[in-house]
Structure 1
Amino acid sequence: MQESLGGITRITGPQFPAENTRHSDNRLYNELMNVILCRPPGSCLLSLLCVLCLMGCESNQPAPTKKNGETLPVLNVETLTVAEQTWPRIVRSQGSLFPDEEATLGIKVEGRVSEVHVDLGDVVEVGDPLITIDQEDFKLRVKQAEAQLAAVRSAVGLKPGDPLEKLVPENSPPAREKKAEWDEATANLERAKTLYKQNVMGQAEFDQVVSFEQVAQARYASALNGVREKMANITVQQTQLDLAREDLKNTELKATYPAVVQKRLVAPGSYIRMGDPLLVLVRIDQLRYRGTVPERLSTQLEIGQPIELKIESVPQRTSKVTRISPFLDQLSRSLLFESLVENPDRELRAGLFAEGRIIVDPDQKAIVVPISSVVQFAGTEKVWKAVDGTVKMQEVLLGERRGDQIRILEGLQPGDVILRTAKEGRPGTLSAAEPQPSAAEQTKAKT
């Protein structure tokens, strides 16, 4: 564009209005260009070179609050200082609840079932009757054994109620009878000896008296043996009576521990034999949690370690590891362990699925941040990290999440400053603020 002024031709260049640029230095650039273009053509080249040098020097020193030619915004957001905190090391497992005891009950005698006292789901205590067998035949056997015992006791002179230990074989009636006969024969022998010496008794008659004495002695010894045999028979008959009474007692099946009936396998009128399965009882006032851990974590498991059990629709339960299998399952390559779970109100039922969290190292330290500090961007997890007052995104590797806290495995170090709420993050600079507490201190303050 050319303009005429007093015979002098003025060449004007394009204008660069300040409102069309984001930098205030463009105004100076426009004014210089206007002055240069107004000068004679000989001096324009030199002036243009000077302007370009000045502009080049200016571009090598960008302001710290600019990025790609744009001014970074000032962020007034809440930050926190990254620090290590206690993060107990936990091994997770899955398993089920099993009854503490499970027994299939039978009976020690055979007969016809007269009554079944329980059914599915009934709660029984120690001594409660479960099943009763017809007792008539067993009562008759008891009476028979009692009569046989009384007969052998009376044969040796024992009165009802007298203990067997009180009986002395020599004092029994049969023995005393034979002892008297022997004493009489002995006395006759002494008199016969006197008469034989006086030649009043012949040899044949004397020999007969001697024979009578020997026979009487043998009969007394036999009587003693007979008494001892009857005493042994008393013991046998007493045992038979005890067995008959035991069989009568066994016609009623009773609970031996607190339990719940899981199955009833017999009905009244059924004839059962010794050992036939009749009922299945389970003890659930105390349950066993049986879980497994992978082979790589099996060496960290120890008896006595605390375990937290998460069971659907019931409050969390706590227990301890009580038993550990001595070998790993060869198919699943996992280790089985048990934990006792108290269940006095029988709220839990055997067979429930449970998830266990075993605390293997309660003092482990880790870098932990609020879950609100993490944002997923372009398929990766990142946080907004402040470096020298400038906020930028930092990629991180996440670990386990617990509640509103999450562990950082890689990407952050103690002392780093990050935004507490990632949704408020964007490239910019932090406003002047007081030093922020660490995540651990903020978590502690909340609790």
Structure 2
Amino acid sequence: MKTFPALSSSLWMVWLAANLVGLGCSRQATPPPTAKSEPAVDAVLRAEVVELHPQAWPMTVRVQGGLTADEITVVGAKVAGRVAAVQFDLGDAVPSEAPMVTLDRTEFELQVAQSQALLAQARAAIGLAANDDGVTPVPERSPAVLEAKAVWEEAATRLRRLQRLREQNAVTTEEYETAIAAEKVAESRYASALNGANEKVAIIQVRAAELDLARQQLADAVCFAPFAASIQQRHVAPGTYVQVGNPLMTLVRTDTLRFRGAMPERHAHRLAVGQQVRLFIESIAEPVEATVTRISPTIDPMSRALTFEADVDNRAGRLRSGLFAEAEVIVDPRATALVLNAGAIQEFAGVEKVWKMVNGEAREQVIQTGERRSEAVTIVDGLQSGDIVLTDASIGRVARVEATLVEQAGGNFVSTETPDQASPDAPTTRQIHGG
């Protein structure tokens, strides 16, 4: 009878028991889990730090709008006529009072000549020469009035003579009454002559006005520019017949442009004339400075915004009317805020952090940022005045910090020491303990 199977079974049981004992010892050697500990402090970190204090951060409101011409006008015809010449075309610069469109002047010149003849006729009727333009007609000096006045004076003299003779009974009653009637008739004829002279003087004034009107129409046959501007559109060509009021030229003045924007209702109370405006135009690299000059008295009920205008100097001519622009209106130039350079802020998965000094060590601090201007960023939450943070978040880690304090101006970090101030043997860093 063989005993090998039994021996093999015994060896297998011994091997299994030994492994179980070893496994138990291994589990007992593993220490029990403990509570989560604070991150270990690394070696000393040499870094620049900045102490936060409120800085000047003018409050701005960003709005959208467009540039419009300072003046735009459609120049129309003042008289009817046929266009004889057009002196300017699209885009031309037109000086003030420069002739732009000329109508055929022949008919207007004939009207002037006719009015001159009628005026001369009226003057001759009252005894004035045609060239006596500077002489004011006097009705009492007209020939008809002088004649009637002489007849009246003669009748009055005869009547006075008969009155003296009647007292002496040298004339009959019939002769005396005839003299009275003749004097009254002469007086009436004088009054009639004077009225006729006044009428002729009035006719002279009418003819003079007609002559002035004819001359004005002759002058209006040439259309002049009301101000220095550029031609936006030409509406006529030589040979076109125009009626009174028909458009001839469209002029725009662009040496000064107007930015027209709409301030949201929630900021409307902050808007005031004289505030500075920075315009950002896609075709212009640098911002364009402007000033708020006009504000609407009412808020638009549809957009719930307040319309305003800012004058833009465009004497260089690099801007065009109609350009779209975004504007930053400085509504509170004295506002302040906590500001950091963008390099001091670390962002990951939408979470923004800085490395804040706490008891001489660098610790992560979650923050919330606000407005960004160039490399400067405002801090809305997470930090307060007096906090000290690393200026370079990329080197931040949990460690004790040997810090060099720098100052901050407008989001830029500036060292507080200069090479002239520091001696060769003086240390360039010092320990700073954040709160």
* TM-score range for the pair, normalised by the shorter chain length: 0.7 to 0.9
Aligned residue number for residue 390 of structure 1: 361
1: CA distance, partners of 2:237 / 2:385: 72
Corresponding residue number in structure 2 for 1:13: none
1:259 maps onto 2:229 in alignment:
yes
Counterpart residue identity of residue 360, structure 2:
G
Partner of 1:222: helix, strand, or coil? Answer: helix
Please tell me the residue identity of whatever aligns with 1:122: D
1:418 maps to what in 2? 389
Following superposition, the deviation at residue 81 of structure 1 comes to 2.1
Does 2:68 align with 1:107?
A: no
| Alignment match of 2:45 (pick from 56, 70, 75) | 75
The counterpart of 2:142, out of the listed 172, 190, 195, is 172
1:313 matched to 2:283? The reply is yes
**In the alignment, residue 250 of structure 2 is paired with which amino acid?**
V
Aligned twin of 2:151: 181
Q: Deviations over 1:340-373 (max 9, x none)?
A: 1122232211111112111122221211111001
Quick one: structure 1 residues 168 and 440, their matched pair in 2 at CA, closer, same or farther if it must change by over 3 Å?
closer
Matches of 1:115 and 1:236, distance apart in 2: 33
Counterparts in 2 of 1:277 and 1:441: CA distance versus 1, 3 Å: closer
* Equivalent residues in 2 for 1:2-401, closer than 5 Å: 72-159=42-129, 160-161=131-132, 163-165=134-136, 167-189=137-159, 208-314=178-284, 315-401=286-372
2:71 aligned counterpart, secondary structure: strand
CA distance in 2, matches of 1:441, 1:293: 27
User: What SS does the aligned partner of 1:158 have?
Assistant: coil
Between the aligned partners of 1:163 and 1:260, the Cα distance in structure 2 is 42
Q: Does 1:437 align with 2:389?
A: no
Deviation of the 1:312 alpha carbon: 2.6
Letter in 2 for 1:423: S
Per-residue CA shift, 1:281-340, capped at 9, x if unaligned?
111111111111222211211222111222233342222211222222222222211111
Shift of residue 220, structure 1, vs aligned partner: 1.8
> Structure 2, unaligned stretches of length 5 or more?
1-28, 416-435
* Residue in structure 1 matched with residue 14 of structure 2 by the alignment: none
Match of 2:431 in 1: none
Structure whose alpha-carbon radius of gyration is higher: 1
Runs of 5+ in structure 1 lacking a partner? Answer: 1-51
How far apart, in 1, do the equivalents of 2:112 and 2:291 lie? 52
C-alpha RMSD of the superposition: 2.9
| Alpha-carbon separation, structure 2, partners of 1:445 and 1:422 | 17
Aligned residues of 1:86 and 1:364 also touching (Cα < 8 A): yes
Equivalent-residue separation in structure 2 for 1:445 and 1:74 (angstroms):
23
Q: Provide Cα deviations, 1:232-252, integer angstroms capped at 9, x if missing partner.
A: 111111111111111111111
Alpha carbons 2:67, 2:260 under 8 Å: kept = yes
Distance 1:441 1:140, change over 3 A: closer
Against the structure 1 CA distance between its residues 190 and 90, is the aligned structure 2 distance closer, same or farther, given a 3 Å change threshold? closer
1:390 and 1:219, CA in 2 relative to 1: closer, same or farther beyond 3 A? same
Q: Return 174-183 or 110-119, whichever deviates more.
A: 174-183
Q: Conserved in 2, the CA contact under 8 Å of 1:112 and 1:269?
A: yes
Q: Give the superposition deviation at 1:112.
A: 0.9
Q: Is the 8 A contact 1:114 1:134 kept in 2?
A: yes
Matched residue of 2:338: which SS? strand
Equivalent position SS for 1:183:
helix
User: 2:7 corresponds to which residue?
Assistant: none
Matches of 1:276 and 1:373, distance apart in 2? 66
Please give the alpha-carbon distance, in whole angstroms, between the structure 2 residues aligned to 1:442 and 1:284: 38
Q: Provide closer, same or farther for how the CA distance between residues 358 and 194 of structure 1 changes in structure 2, counting only shifts above 3 A.
A: closer
Deviations 1:119-173 (A, max 9, x none): 11111121101111111111111111111111111222223235454x4322221
Pick one of 388, 407, 432 that aligns with 2:378: 407
Secondary structure in 1 matching 2:89: coil
Any conservation in 1 of the 2:353–2:366 contact (CA below 8 Å)?
A: yes
The 2-side partners of 1:417 and 1:71 are apart by: 18
1:41 corresponds in structure 2 to: none
Q: 2: distance between equivalents of 1:433 and 1:207? A: 135
Deviations 1:153-209 (A, max 9, x none): 1222223235454x4322221111222233334445556667778888766666555
Distance, in Å, in 2 between the alignment partners of 1:442 and 1:310 is: 21
CA distance in 2 between partners of 1:262 and 1:233 (Å): 46
Q: TM-score, normalised by structure 1?
A: 0.78
Hey, what's the Cα distance between the residues in 2 that align with 1:299 and 1:217? 80
Q: Distance in 2 between matches of 1:189 and 1:356?
A: 96
| Alignment check: 8 A CA contact 2:256 2:314 kept | yes
Does the aligned pair in 1 maintain the 2:49–2:403 contact within 8 Å?
no
- Match of 1:316, as an amino acid? P
Change (3 A) 1:139 1:75: same
- Residue 217 of structure 2 aligns with an amino acid whose one-letter code is D
- Structure 2 residue aligned with 1:31: none
Counterparts in 2 of 1:197 and 1:361: CA distance versus 1, 3 Å? closer
Tell me the number of residue pairs that the alignment of Structure 1 and Structure 2 aligns. Answer: 383
Residue 78 and residue 210 in structure 1: after superposition, are their counterparts in 2 closer, same or farther (change >3 A)?
closer
8 A Cα contact 2:62 2:328, kept in partner: yes
State, as a whole percentage, how many aligned pairs show the same letter: 43
Provide the secondary structure at the position in 2 that maps to 1:412: coil
